[in-house]
Structure 1
Amino acid sequence: MTAGTPGGRIPSKWEEITAADPSHSAWYVQRFRDLAAQGRDTAGEARLVDAMLERGSRVLDAGCGPGRVGGYLHRAGHEVVGVDVDPVLIAAAEEDHPGPQWLVGDLAELDLPTRGVTGEFDVIVCAGNVMTFVAPVTREAVLAGFARHLAPSGRVVVGFGAGRDYEFEEFFADAERAGLAVDLTLSTWDLRPFTDGADFLVAVLSRAS
């Protein structure tokens, strides 16, 4: 995958943040290194995804950041590709979690080789509030890219919090227009049910029939 070129491409919210504060990416990397060094649990998202898969499944870690989710899934025996728009985060993923294929790229322009198989990923995981960091006008395009890269029986798992300028109902509408159907909604990565007023959403989606 090639990263998008500056001309004509809409920058993500994350890119706007890092342009305003060039130290932000390094701070983010160090934050998760510190949490791991403290023995904190940073693998809840990955455990949920792992429970959905057979060994050796193909996983796309969309907005992979410094690689904590994809790295865990690789060590669990899956074939992982991680994509993130931030080269600093990709460099950290390569250093801290060798094994997966880590790529710099814009999720709104997702175009990964599928070895001749249309939509080859068994799970696409988009954790860490990533959907709230893409440019708002590209949200539907990002979800449509997930649908294109999904195996026929595959699933997309998206998690993000409330109060981040992306209402849950708006997300559901974008997903439907992108060709995805909601199979399950949770309010945490440890399987607590989604309820009215929940401050976090974990949505499991599949290709719409």
Structure 2
Amino acid sequence: MSRWQELTGGTSGSEYAARFEALARSGKDLHGEASFCAALVPAGSRVLDAGCGTGRVMIRLAELGYDCVGIDLDASMLDVARAQAPGLPWFRTDLAAFDPALLGVAADFDLVVAAGNVMPLLTPGTESAVVERLAAALRPGGLLVAGFGLDAAHLPVPPGLTLPEYDASCAAAGLDLVDRFATWDAAPYDGGGYAVSVHRATS
């Protein structure tokens, strides 16, 4: 079972969406992740939102002209995503077993984004398998972007995955580190408790 399922029971889609709706009403910008991705690849690029949740990031990218696919294991989150954007492709799948061919999706994404602490909330021990699956979905030169917490202040669960471990998984999957930031606003990474990492597929 994933740490996310242990944390939520797989039934928190509506509650999760309501929290972000409240943040939006308060004036908070909810599109930092999408803006970050849009600065990396041009409109029209194919984007896979891995661990898409309720679709907040992907829906914004689709509005900006990106060709998007969303995948997640949490049915309650996908129910919200489908209700908000029924015309977009949403698939329920375990990231550790993700196979684009089984979903009828081409494995030539320009960018894969894993936002919202996807990596630390996976089933422990599957992190490398997930990175390998996501890397395999990229075209040569494509980018994997992942933002996640590294300490208790930035995670809803005890810290597990470290940056060296994540980088090692990426290297094993044929991905090179391009850049790393402290926020989705591209602030320089300073060794703090949250990191946004950009890796490129070498082949």
For residues 194 and 125 of structure 1, what CA distance do their matches in structure 2 show?
18
Could you report, residue by residue, the CA deviation over 1:139-160 in whole angstroms, capped at 9, with x for unpaired residues?
0000001110001121010000
1:89 aligns with 2:77: yes
For residues 116 and 186 of structure 1, what CA distance do their matches in structure 2 show?
30
Structure 1 unmatched runs, 5+: 1-10
Match of 1:8 in 2: none
Q: Tell me the TM-score normalised to structure 1 length.
A: 0.87
Match for residue 130 of structure 2 among 136, 142, 145: 142
SS in 1 for 2:126: helix
For residues 74 and 31 of structure 2, what CA distance do their matches in structure 1 show?
21
Map 1:21-60 → 2, pairs under 5 A: 24-60=12-48
1:18 aligns with 2:12: no
Match of 1:6 in 2: none
Match of 1:185 in 2: 180
Question: Using a 3 Å threshold, how does the CA distance of structure 1 residues 115 and 29 change in structure 2: closer, same or farther?
Answer: closer
Could you report, residue by residue, the CA deviation over 1:6-45 in whole angstroms, capped at 9, with x for unpaired residues?
xxxxx211112233xx653432122112222333211101
Match of 1:200 in 2: 194
For residues 105 and 39 of structure 1, what CA distance do their matches in structure 2 show?
33
Supply the RMSD in Å over aligned alpha carbons.
1.8
Map 1:101-120 → 2, pairs under 5 A: 101-113=89-101, 119-120=107-108
Q: Tell me the TM-score normalised to structure 2 length.
A: 0.89
Question: Using a 3 Å threshold, how does the CA distance of structure 1 residues 95 and 115 change in structure 2: closer, same or farther?
Answer: closer
Q: C-alpha displacement at 1:178, in angstroms? A: 2.2
Match of 1:62 in 2: 50
The answer as to whether partners of 2:181 and 2:187 remain within 8 angstroms in 1 is yes
For residues 45 and 26 of structure 1, what CA distance do their matches in structure 2 show?
21
Structure 2 unmatched runs, 5+: 152-158
The answer as to whether partners of 1:189 and 1:202 remain within 8 angstroms in 2 is yes
Q: C-alpha displacement at 1:100, in angstroms? A: 2.2
For residues 26 and 115 of structure 1, what CA distance do their matches in structure 2 show?
28
For residues 90 and 26 of structure 2, what CA distance do their matches in structure 1 show?
25
For residues 23 and 145 of structure 1, what CA distance do their matches in structure 2 show?
26
Runs of 4+ in structure 1 deviating by more than 4 angstroms, as ranges, are 114-117
Question: Using a 3 Å threshold, how does the CA distance of structure 1 residues 208 and 53 change in structure 2: closer, same or farther?
Answer: closer
| Amino acid corresponding to residue 166 of structure 1 in structure 2 | L
Could you report, residue by residue, the CA deviation over 1:85-105 in whole angstroms, capped at 9, with x for unpaired residues?
101100111112343211111
Question: Using a 3 Å threshold, how does the CA distance of structure 1 residues 105 and 88 change in structure 2: closer, same or farther?
Answer: same
For residues 128 and 201 of structure 2, what CA distance do their matches in structure 1 show?
14
For residues 23 and 53 of structure 1, what CA distance do their matches in structure 2 show?
33
Map 1:154-169 → 2, pairs under 5 A: 154-163=142-151, 164-169=159-164
How many residue pairs get aligned? The number is: 195
1:153 aligns with 2:141: yes
Q: C-alpha displacement at 1:173, in angstroms? A: 1.4
SS in 1 for 2:52: coil
